[in-house]
Amino acid sequence: MKNRIISLFKKRIVLLDGALGTELHKLGMPDGVSPELWCLENPNVLSDLHLKYINSGSDIIYTATFGANRLKLSLFNVKKDVSDINKRLALIAKEVSSGCLVAGDIGPLGKFIKPFGELDFEEAVDIFKEQIKGLLLGGVDLFVIETMMDIQEARAALLAVKELTDKFVITTMTFQNYGKTISGNDPISSLITLQSLGADAFGLNCSTGPQDMVKIIKLLKPYSNIPLVAKPNAGIPTVLNNKTTFNMSPIRFSYFGEKLVLAGANFIGGCCGTTPEHIALLNKKIKNLKPIQPKNKKFSILTSPKKFVEFKDNFIVIGEKINPTNRKELQEDLKKEKFTTLRYLAKEQEKHKASLLDVNVSFLGVKEKELIKKAISVLVNITELPLVIDSSDLNTIKEALRFYPARALVNSVSLNKNTEELLSIIKKYGAMFIILPISKKIPKDFKEKKDIIKEIIKIAKKFGFTKEDFIIDGLALTISSNENSAIEALKVIKWANKVLKAHTTIGLSNISFGLPKRDIINRVFLGLAKKAGLSSAICNPKDNKPIKNKIVEDLLFAKKGALEKFIKYYSKKSTKTKKVSVSIEDRLFNAILNGEKDIIVELLDEALLKFKAQDILNSYLIPAIIKVGDLFEKKEYFLPQLILSAETLKKAIEHLKPHFEKENIDIKKGKILLATVEGDVHDIGKNIVGLLLKNYGFEVIDLGKDVKSKKIISAIKKYLPDVVGLSALMTTTMLNMKKVIELSKRHKLNPKFILGGAVVNEPFATSLGASYAKDAVSAVKAIENLVKK
Amino acid sequence: MLRFFDSIHIDIPYQDIYKRLGYREGVTKIEKEDNEFKNYILDGLQFIDLKAVALRIPIKKINIDKVYFKGNLIIKSKLLVSLLSGCVEMLCIATTSGKKIIEEIGKLEKKDFARAVVYDALASEMADFCFDWVIGVFLQELKRENKELTKKRISCGYSDFSIKYQKKFYKILNLKKLGISITKDYMLVPEKSAIAVLGIKEK
């Protein structure tokens, strides 16, 4: 049967059926019922609909089992017979099929699966298996996994099919008009992940009309080794006379059918809103068109649920830092199953432009198999980078590959008694792997490494792997124990690159172990390895910029006396201070302008040798913050820049404070009372105003948030402020501003009020006799004016 | 049936975060793709713990200013009446960016305010986009039931839809399970937690 489907799509476009759900509604299925149970009660309606699609030319019809899984049926009080329901619905389709192929339809479970949801991954696989067994008993010819919103669910369903049968299986996901699934999965990563896992065809259904699908099919075609599927809705739903309709006519739909073929779709049908008429016209339009066959092009692509990384001409940096060896903090965290350090290391490496993250959680006293799944759960939720599963334990790799919701790289396969078993696991889950040239003993030179690599490739080929599926590690060992280590590793890289035309990698930092100035050695070695054709490195992403250095090159090439020369040179080398030519006045001004908090104190100390504190403040710091305010008002600066400058000034004023006291200077311009009114817990806006006011020399008394009106009144009595600033973010709490102002009048207190906050506007403030400020800078200006009055 | 969402995936809405912070395309003079504040956003993500819960409540009857729901819930609001007119159910959604980010903002306000401001914008936008994500999940599922959602969503405190109903939704949605509490003034704590409702219509 599988061969029949293959020969069918090689000859022509395979026509799928159209919508079942929307058509069943038209045929009398009421809302709120289980479509599966309703179909069993009305088998003739379903048979007729199947027949209509067959008569329209469909080569494949889908069983009405979209929601026939344990979870969805339980919503209709079906506790057992799930398998039987699937079998009976498959039989209804089979009875009328007369030569047309019947696909067992598998829809989503309605729950998100770990690591993205609550449902356990193995439980999801079991639920799918229960449905699949029933469909097999009903005699389906192939399977279709459809409308998947999340890659992990698609993987669970695909694995369930593959573990029960070798029948042809189509997997389609549902991408929104912005080109991603609801879960953020992008089409190419999804294709690569599922294609590697053994899907026989991949594509899209539902969510969008055919126009949007044309774009995605075009995008997928260059990466696809399997036929592509498009089952669009009849356009985007529109509302007419209070009723929603899928407005694309059968003629227009069939026009896009042609476009889909030209973009590279091999299986085409219709989803929500399409009818037998849509399919019949589509058939007419596309039946004589020649399909574009999938190219059997090989790729070296790794994926995460949201991103793919291809080994091509680009250099790939594999972040090495998630490894507990010599990282005590990570070890302590992992022991307690805390993942704070792991998160930090992941984000830090991502920030420094790592392309992949190596994940190793192995050390004494932990259950590696369980821990790696937990680490994967954390990582896939915080980073988009594809992961490299780094372990020497076969079961850990197996568990990790089964669970990782994408296509991983395994680090690594070496030559030992487990090589075949490990390769069979990697094959099953469609991963890539690193070949590490190690057997029972460490190879002493290039020749021994080459022999091991060749042997591993020979075994890999038996499993159907090609050179695009693996990456060869040059095996860098420290030059402190073997002075020829760099030379031998470079030879492997050169050979793998030129002769095998395979991708290569290296554990970069191993080369410098035990030596000083490791970063310099690593970076020089990286430059040499890149020259030899290195395509990736497992390294600290901060060390990924190659440099040239004659002394280190001599060391790496084991030149006589190079080590002594290296140690002598680097122990002597001292850092030279740069000569600064910009004046201290300009540097002070710029430090405020650019928010350089870290250097302001140092600059002030230098300036105090030349100027009085008051002159520094009035001549350089205040003009700089005024300039910042101007830039903010013109929108040339945005809020974080304003705050950074304000914080720098705050730090400067704090540092100058003792000098003001010495110079007997009072810089206070006035007293301001600030509060977020009762019932409101938002206060960041008010705090920004407070910070700026302090910068401008005001004394600020901040009462905090959710402050009762009475407390504000007591504070006015106590502090006698020049101005009271009130803040509120909600329409429901801004009325408390009115309460405060009225209460202050009743107590015969007459401070000036200024109001602000997201919902407050000028008319509201004016109606209460208060001033208004739209943002922090205008608040400061308004308060300066109020104090002057 | 309450549906809890513990693992929510949204792309970082950089554009909206920058906009909230006052960034104006073509005017603000900072490299959008490569500046230290973008790193703040990435750092802040580790403190974001997006969670959501949703519930579909069947509508029994709607009159001029009240909506009667299954389970004896009655809400008096002309705004809600207008939103739910023609609907068969109401979809209630609550989202939160979690407690950790708010605690972190609190700590940072004293030592690194610029970072605190960026985290605040990140938390606000993530919580907002979280609504869109949950709505996306329901849109996908409702299509199969031949139903759809109203384009608009509203929250307690809008117009005559009293803030007091927030307490009722708090209980119905079991927001305690999401780590959210409610003040006597009906504010959800931690900040960046919100409730909104939409209507479900038959197509």
- A239 beta partners: A244
For B169-190, what is the mean pLDDT? 94
Residue-wise pLDDT for A410-449, tens only, equals: 999 999 999 999 999 999 999 999 999 999 888 989 999 9
Please determine, for residue B90, whether its predicted confidence score (pLDDT) is greater than 90.
Answer: yes
Residue-wise pLDDT for A378-412, tens only, equals: 999 889 999 999 999 999 999 999 999 999 999 99
Q: Which residues of A touch B1 (CB under 8 A)?
A: 75
A203 touches A231 (CB < 8 A)? yes
- A133 beta partners: none
Question: Among partner residues B6, B10, B21, which is closest to A118 by beta-carbon distance?
Answer: B6
Question: Residue A191 burial (CB < 10 Å; 0-12/13-18/19+)?
Answer: buried
What domains does chain A contain, in order, with CATH numbers? Answer: 2-286 (3.20.20.330), 313-466 (3.20.20.20), 581-667 (1.10.1240.10), 668-789 (3.40.50.280)
B10 touches chain A (CB under 8 A): yes
CA dihedral A209, A212, A213, A219 (to 10 degrees): 180
Q: Which residues of B touch A344 (CB under 8 A)?
A: 46
CA distance B163 to chain A (A): 7
DSSP state of A458: H
CA distance A58 to chain B (A): 22
- A756 beta partners: A727
Q: Which residue of A has its CA nearest to B185?
A: A679
Is A25 close to B146, i.e. CB distance below 8 A?
yes
Interface test with A, best of B2, B144, B202 (most A CBs within 10 A): B144
For A279-294, what is the mean pLDDT? 94
Q: How far apart are CA A339 and CA A327, in angstroms?
A: 13
Q: How far apart are CA A419 and CA A462, in angstroms?
A: 12
Q: Please, which residues 686-715 of chain A have a Cβ atom closer than 8 Å to chain B?
A: 687-688, 691, 706
Angle, vertex CA A176, rays to CA A171 and CA A179, nearest 5: 85
Is B40 close to A350, i.e. CB distance below 8 A?
no
Strand locations in A14-95, DSSP E?
Answer: 14-15, 60-62
Q: Which residues of A touch B40 (CB under 8 A)?
A: 640
Q: Among candidates A653, A694, A689, which has minimal Cα distance to A671?
A: A694
Residue-wise pLDDT for A94-136, tens only, equals: 999 988 999 999 999 988 899 988 899 999 999 999 999 999 9
Question: Which H/E stretch holds residue A243?
Answer: strand A243-246
A640 touches chain B (CB under 8 A): yes
pLDDT on residue A578: 44
CA dihedral A253, A255, A257, A260 (to 10 degrees): -120
b (16+ CB within 10 A) / e for A689-712 = bbbbbbbbebbbbbbebbbbbeeb
Specify the range with the lowest mean pLDDT, choosing from A120-129, A187-196, A212-221, A325-334.
Answer: A325-334
- A626 beta partners: none
Extract the tokens encoding A670: 């006035």
pLDDT on residue A572: 59
pLDDT on residue A576: 44
Q: Which residues of A touch B191 (CB under 8 A)?
A: 681-682
B183 touches chain A (CB under 8 A): yes
Q: Among candidates A446, A468, A447, which has minimal Cα distance to A457?
A: A468
- Sequence-ordered list of residues with C-beta below 8 angstroms from that of A162, at least 6 positions apart, any chain: A169, A197, A198
Is A640 close to B21, i.e. CB distance below 8 A?
yes
For A221-226, what is the mean pLDDT? 96
Please determine, for residue A574, whether its predicted confidence score (pLDDT) is greater than 50.
Answer: no
